[in-house]
Structures are given as structure tokens and as C-alpha cells.
Amino acid sequence: MSSMPGLGPIPPVWPTGTRNTPRVAPRVLAGLVTVLAAIGVHLMWVFFVNSAAGQRIDRAAFEGAAFEQGRLWQVAQPVLNVVSYALVIGGAAAAVLIAIFRKRVLLALELLALIGGANLTTQLIKDWYPRPHLLPGWTGPNSLPSGHTTVAASVSAALLLAVPRRWRPVVALLGAGWTIAIGLSTLVGQWHRPADVIAAVLVVLAWGALICALTSFHTMDQAEDELRGNLVWKRRWPYRLTPTVSTTSWVVGTTMTALAAIGLTVWIVVIWRLLLASPDVSDYFVTAYGGGAAGVVGFTLASFAVLLVVRQATGAPRSVEI
């Protein structure tokens, strides 16, 4: 690397088209995640809403929420009260401003589409998908997916896609935690069943992955913009060759996935036991409630882990990792 008197090192000249052209494979993967998440939403309805066995398990979890509800509601109610139009507007504005500050105007528009599309999709599913009355004494319209959970997850996902690369693992963790808090609070208050919450998370995952699949030159992480601050303040050129997804992102994503696997395993085992057991068993409803909560935690952690890795892969510059 050469230098000039008083100017410090001269940055290397990157060959045209080597750093900001979106990769094909990660975008294909993002498209596959979109399709699988959409199928997952449908399957949640098929089993937990459109079958007697699924309704029985989801209903048991709903009724099991009465266990220690008074004490838990003291924590859950304030959490749910935060979800409002102000949260949607504020979260969307924050994500858009971050994208604009990073000179990603097209990404800002896509983030608005993510939040609006996810929440509109949730409402349309509630209207279009029926809830047949397959159990005695159980009536009412379809409540799948959960609107509150969709709001929390969509704002969190938009922020995850908006922030710079180095901040995304932290935002993924915080976003997953916030979404879990909202989802579990709807269970505690008996506002929703576990399947409603999981379906909402999958709706947001589908939209988030779709935005990643549409990554273009104007929405990816352009290396020269991300590192300009280092050039100004340090007068150095700190580029370094690394994989498409940083080690930190892999560690965070893998940890979230491992914890998700535990929750999902518990949920599946509980479902299997409930299918074979009689509702007359004393701990039937509490078991269903606990298993449903584990499923919510597992699906949420897994969804944000996938979205983190997909966003890092689709947005990565070809030559550098920041």
C-alpha cells in the first residue's frame, strides 16, 4: 500500500463490480425461507385450528393459563400495554431513519413494506381462514395469528434488517426477547393460544426473508459506506477478508438455534403426550400451557436466528466483513 506525504495510506482500488453485487445463493436461500415460513403458517392452521386434536391441545394450553394467572398477569399486562399504534409508528420510523442515515433509501421503503405487509397479512388470515367448531362449548372467530405478536416481531425484524452489520446479532437477541415477552404475555392473559403466537412469528419471518431475497445493489451493505468513519478518524484502511457471515453472527445464531431446539423438543414431546393422554388427567392443562410456552420460545428464537444469518449473508459485501 503506497502513501503520500501528509495524507497517510492510500486505500486500495477495488475492481469494479467485485464488492457490491448481491450474491445469488443467499437470496435463493432467503426465498426458500419465505416459502417454508408461509407453509408453516398454513400448517399451524391446518392442525391447531382445523382439526379436533389440534384444537383440543391448543384449548388445553389456553385453559392452563389460569394457573398462577393473577401473579403472572401483574408482569404481563404492562408488557402488553406497550403494544400500540405508537409502537408501530415509532418502531417503523426508527428503522426507516436508520436505513436513510445509512443511505439505503430503497431499504427504508422495503422495511415499511415488511411492517405493513406482515400486519396486514395477519389480519387477512384471521378474516379468510375459518375456525370450525370441532369441540363442544368452544365458539368464536379465528384468532390465528396473534396481532400483538405480529406488531412486536415485525418492528423487531425491521430494526434487525436496518442496523449496520456489527449491531445485528445484538438486535436479533433483543428482538427475539421482546417478541417472546409479548407472545407469552398474550398466553398469560388468555388473549391467544400458542398456535396464534407461533403463526404470527412465522408471518414476520416470511416477510423478513422476502425482503432479504429482494436484496439489490441499493439495499446491501456497501463496504465503502460502512467503513468511511474509520478512514476519517483513524486515517487507516481496516479492510479484512472474512466469510460472508461473521463469526459473531454465527455464534449468536447457533446459540439461539440450540436454545430453540430445546424449546421445540419440549413442545413436540408435550404434544405427543397430550395426543395419547386423556383431558381428565390432573396436570393435562398445565402441561399443555407449559409446552405451548416452550413452543413459542423455540419458534421465536429459531426465526430470529434464521433471519439474522439470512440478512448477513444477503447483505454482505463481496470482499469485506464489517
Amino acid 246: pLDDT = 84
b/e burial code for range 121-146 (CB count within 10 A of at least 16 → b): bbeebbeebebeeeeeeeeeebbbbb
Helix, coil or strand: residue 171: helix
Please return the burial class of 7, using the count of CB atoms within 10 Å of its CB with bins 0-12, 13-18 and 19+.
exposed
Beta carbons of 104 and 218 less than 8 angstroms apart = yes
Amino acid 69: pLDDT = 85
Helix, coil or strand: residue 117: helix
CA-CA distance, 17 to 50, in Å (whole number)? 51
Cell of 194: 400458542
Beta carbons of 161 and 311 less than 8 angstroms apart = yes
CA-CA distance, 214 to 187, in Å (whole number)? 34
Domains of the chain by residue range: 23-315
Amino acid 221: pLDDT = 87
- The residue type found at 309 is V
Amino acid 112: pLDDT = 96
Amino acid 243: pLDDT = 54
CA-CA distance, 284 to 4, in Å (whole number)? 76
Q: Using alpha carbons, select from 207, 115, 210 the residue that is nearest to residue 154.
A: 115
Amino acid 97: pLDDT = 97
Amino acid 99: pLDDT = 96
Amino acid 195: pLDDT = 97
Q: Give the chain's residues under pLDDT 50.
A: 1-4, 7-19, 224-242, 320-322
CA-CA distance, 98 to 64, in Å (whole number)? 42
Beta carbons of 114 and 91 less than 8 angstroms apart = no
pTM, entire model: 0.88
- Nearest 10 degrees: Cα torsion 106, 157, 250, 33: -80
